[in-house]
Amino acid sequence: MLNWEQLYDACMHCQRCPLAQTRTNVVFGEGPRDAEVMFIGEGPGEQEDLSGRPFVGRGGQFLDQMMEMIDLSRERVFIGNMVKCRPPGNRDPLNTEQEACIGYLRNQVALIRPKIIVCLGRIAAGRLIHSDYKITKEHGQWVEKAGVMMTAIYHPAALLRDPGKRPETFADLKSIQAMIRARCERTYSL
């Protein structure tokens, strides 16, 4: 396992998959190194690629609004992605790209040691919760894995496309808020 600085450096110079050739910036993720809560998306989009920061485009603004609904701010959670470089044209990251990248995320999780992981969308849920994850059926459900409580909600981009999914997501967010209150000591008291 790498320490934080080694890991950051390895990611910044990574050439493990072809996304390295087309990226502008590696999006390492951001938030406290001891965050109790992690949000994991799919992969950087255009704005993220240009800025090197996760969830800063339209989807990111919507994610901010969703977090606000449960009194969470970006400073309190670590926000990362399944893959750290932008898939061209915002296509889904390929399995091979996810395989090449997931070790970095696992290393981040091992260093941060979160109590709660929230997958944003089916790609993260399918990799981190279980491989045949059905987001339409299973969103909002909780699973415990190695002492970490895990759930998934619809991806912010899916909620922008289909506002009909928002009421269910609001219920999921309330459940996340309750889980944070039950399991986390610092997230709501900073």
Q: Are 156 and 68 in contact (CB under 8 A)?
A: no
Please identify, using beta-carbon distances, which residue of 106 and 181 lies nearer to ligand URA. 106
Please identify, using beta-carbon distances, which residue of 99 and 183 lies nearer to ligand URA. 99
Site for ligand URA (CB under 6 A): which residue of 54, 87, 93, 114?
Answer: 54
Task: Work out whether 48 is an interface residue with ligand URA (CB under 6 A).
Answer: yes
What is the DSSP annotation of 81-146? Answer: ESSSSPPGGGPPPPHHHHHHHHHHHHHHHHHH--SEEEEESHHHHHHHT-TT--HHHHTT--EEET
Task: Work out whether 49 is an interface residue with ligand URA (CB under 6 A).
Answer: no
Task: Work out whether 55 is an interface residue with ligand URA (CB under 6 A).
Answer: yes
Kindly list the strands in the beta sheet with 78-81, ordered across the sheet, starting from the edge strand earlier in the chain. Answer: 78-81, 37-41, 116-120, 148-153, 143-145
Q: Are 32 and 78 in contact (CB under 8 A)?
A: yes
Task: Work out whether 97 is an interface residue with ligand URA (CB under 6 A).
Answer: no
Site for ligand URA (CB under 6 A): which residue of 31, 41, 87, 93?
Answer: 41
Site for ligand URA (CB under 6 A): which residue of 31, 43, 87, 126?
Answer: 43
Tokens of 104: 């970095």
Q: Which residues bind ligand URA (CB under 6 A)?
A: 41-45, 48, 54-55, 57, 59-60, 81
